[in-house]
A and B are shown apart, each in its own frame.
Chain A
Amino acid sequence: MTGSREQVLANIRRSLRRTEPLGESARAGLEARLAAPRANLKPHYDGDPVAHFETRIRAVSGIVTRVHGAAEISDVVQAHVRKHGLALDLVVAPDPDLDDIAWSNHFKVECRAAVGSDQTSVTSAFAGVGETGSLVLLSSPRSPTTLNFLPEDHLIVLARSRIVPHIEDVWTRLRAEVGAMPRTVNFITGPSKTGDVEQVIQEGAHGPRRLHVILREDR
């Protein structure tokens, strides 16, 4: 509706006491603000980002296991699956960062997007945020978004070197390493939950019931 577009913009300009779009110099100032985004205040916290990340994600019911290399990951996943009575079928993100994991023969591993009946997914995070305990996943052919939401249990491999102090540092890395925004950037801070029944917090609303971070100390 082109008519609506012009009408809305004209109303906005009238309310701002202008009759036309912004002048050249005002526009250049705003363009410059967009071209070189500046971080606002970043809250201070004590301790190093990795330790803070671990404290924060545990505080929202996330599980964290530290491993020293790819060789330990299969065992961690197997222990998780056994403990929570899940099937031995895994959907693993087709991510080169996960290629060095040697999956135990007990598992049936498929690399693809998720379907409704999948129980357990394993993905790799773009970043972790020390401030909030959030995991950041970017959609791409190697990281299908459905893996983050459809399965019952979500295990995320996070390299220690990918943990940044604040939310803003994720954007700096994203602009430097990826460039344009992917279709989806997911900040995930704990397992899915709801408080919609009498404000009682219940985990496993629509997304994963459990979130397990496998923190790789070697990367």
Chain B
Amino acid sequence: MQSNAHDFKRRADVALEDMELQKALQLLKTGFTLKRAESIAALPEFEALRTQGREIKEHTLAHLDFYLETFERNVRASGGHVHWASSVEDARAIVVRICSDAGAKRVTKGKSMVGEEIGVNEALEAAGVDVLETDLGEYIIQLAKEPPSHIIAPAIHKTKAQITELFHTHHAKHGKSVRVIEVADIVNEAREVLREGFLASDVGITGANFLIAENGAAVIVTNEGNGDLTNTLPRVHIVTAGIEKVVPTLEDVSTILRLLARSATGQQMSVYTTFSTGPKRREDLDGPDAFHVVLLDNGRSEMLGNEFHEMLRCIRCSACMNHCPVYGAVGGHAYGWVYPGPMGAVLTPLMVGIEKSTPLPNACTLNGRCQEVCPMQIPLPAMLRRLREREFDEGLMPRMARAGLAAWAFLARRPRLYRAVTGVGVKVLSLLARGKGRLRYLPLAGAWTAARDLPAPAGETFQQAWKRRQRGLGS
């Protein structure tokens, strides 16, 4: 998928003015966030499980080559194929080749963020293959020709009324002429229309929440059942997954499953947790004839060795974005690429290049909620700070910000001058406020004061106040 991450500021402005989007985003606060809190309160062992989950992931990452090779061997032993892709271009070529070798005309897809990362739909369509997204949210945005705005609820930005209109426009060819307005009717109509697609599909493509080294299984976690129709009905099942998805054993995956659904939707267990190992066995009455796993690197092996390696623990639960005030204000599309929110603000610069996504690490208030709720204890704020440092080191910051920082650094390195200047500054601001305690307008900071008042300083600097206090204590 093409990245528009560089355009964050403009897209955020548009998002803030979009009343339909703002209405949809309001639901985040009462939905996922509340349900997560309730389900975690009901599990006293959650913190202990979180620590174990983190240890499992760290252990696996420290021996990633071993576990990937073991996974590969076990997929082969069960009759499946493993393909390695360094880049998204490699992955696209592999998927297109498997589909053309299978003579596929129609492909159904389960929701897959790696699929989005690869841009698999565009590649297949360019090769003349019909692609049908089957997760309801993904289907809605496929009709709207939009990218997902959330990693587990891709159409979270769409209101019911917008979905009604989309279905009315696109379902006429399926013999549906009446507008569906109630949620139950919308879901029903999608079920009927997509059922035809499932039954006619040649190849099913899913992602994977986990890959299991000990037996070569790929695991998906869903609620709708679309992933299971996708991996059971067509002749060929392709799994696209990042190399960091592997875990050693079924016991290990059991631990992380207890964290995943609770952190995502507040469920104890998603409706369907499915382990797929190889193609159908000789005597089986259903299942695909061929099973392929495409392992995608795309910058992950490099992250493994640098200061961002903890990001590879991410299990894509979405808790970080559900609790992020910036995501909550602008939604996922503003971020401009596949992964939004705090995890996206870290991953996008690392995957598409920091120079193409400079605004993202700055779209953060460093309030720390994302790290607090992350089931894998990923230090997202620290990583965003490191990315800001990189931007500065590589000269990628806007000129004004650089000049401002340079001026501040000049002062900060000269304590006497610093005290003198800040002393004057504080006095001036205090006088400007004329005893009202707040400033409604400040020259050079008009954009900031347009939306809020600046609390006026008390007339002395912290250091002055400290000195006075120390004198008081000493007497």
Give chain A's interface residues, CB within 8 Å of chain B.
1, 4-5, 7-9, 11-17, 21-22, 26-27, 30, 33-34, 37-41, 43-44, 56, 60, 94, 112-114, 116, 132-134, 139-141, 144-146, 148-150, 166-168, 171, 180-200, 202, 204-208
Whether the Cβ atoms of B271 and A189 lie closer than 8 Å is yes
Residue B287 lies at the interface, judged by CB distance under 8 Å to chain A = yes
Whether the Cβ atoms of B214 and A194 lie closer than 8 Å is no
Docked CA distance A198–B32 (Å) = 12
Docked CA distance A114–B27 (Å) = 38
Give chain B's interface residues, CB within 8 Å of chain A.
24, 27, 31-32, 43-45, 48-49, 52, 56, 62-70, 78, 83-86, 90, 94, 134-137, 140, 153-156, 159-160, 163, 183-184, 186-188, 190-191, 194-195, 198-199, 213-217, 223-226, 228-229, 231-233, 243, 248-252, 254-255, 257-258, 265, 267-281, 283-287, 295, 297, 301-306, 309
- 7 A-B pairs with the lowest CB-CB distances in the bound complex, closest first: A207-B225, A15-B305, A11-B301, A205-B224, A196-B137, A15-B304, A37-B249
Whether the Cβ atoms of B286 and A145 lie closer than 8 Å is yes
With both beta carbons as reference points, the residue of chain B lying nearest to A198 in the complex is identified as B160
CB distance from B18 to the nearest CB of A (A): 16
Whether the Cβ atoms of A16 and B254 lie closer than 8 Å is no
Whether the Cβ atoms of B305 and A145 lie closer than 8 Å is no
Whether the Cβ atoms of A183 and B228 lie closer than 8 Å is no
On whether A141 and B269 interact (CB within 8 A), knowing A116-B199, A196-B155, A199-B156, the answer reads: no
Whether the Cβ atoms of A40 and B56 lie closer than 8 Å is yes
CB distance from A198 to the nearest CB of B (A): 5
Docked CA distance A121–B213 (Å) = 33
Across the interface, A198 reaches (CB within 8 A) one of B24, B257, B267, B304, namely: B24
Across the interface, B272 reaches (CB within 8 A) one of A5, A16, A187, namely: A187
Across the interface, B251 reaches (CB within 8 A) one of A4, A22, A146, A171, namely: A171
CB distance from B321 to the nearest CB of A (A): 14
With both beta carbons as reference points, the residue of chain A lying nearest to B45 in the complex is identified as A43
Instruction: Please classify the interface of chain A as helix (H, G, I), strand (E, B), loop, or mixed, using the class held by over half of its residues.
Output: loop
Docked CA distance A133–B284 (Å) = 27
CB distance from B309 to the nearest CB of A (A): 8
Known: A113-B285, A183-B280. 15 other contacts (CB 8 A): A4-B85, A9-B68, A17-B305, A22-B65, A116-B199, A132-B269, A171-B250, A196-B135, A198-B159, A199-B153, A205-B190, A205-B191, A205-B225, A205-B226, A206-B224
Whether the Cβ atoms of B140 and A188 lie closer than 8 Å is no
Whether the Cβ atoms of A202 and B183 lie closer than 8 Å is yes
Whether the Cβ atoms of A16 and B183 lie closer than 8 Å is no
Selected A-B contacts with CB under 8 Å, 28 pairs: A1-B84, A1-B85, A8-B84, A12-B68, A14-B301, A15-B306, A21-B66, A21-B69, A30-B248, A40-B49, A44-B44, A113-B285, A140-B283, A141-B284, A145-B286, A146-B232, A167-B257, A186-B274, A192-B271, A195-B153, A196-B135, A197-B136, A197-B155, A198-B27, A198-B160, A199-B156, A205-B136, A207-B228
Residues of the B chain whose Cβ atoms lie less than 8 Å from the Cβ of A12: 64-65, 68, 243, 301, 304
Whether the Cβ atoms of A183 and B271 lie closer than 8 Å is no
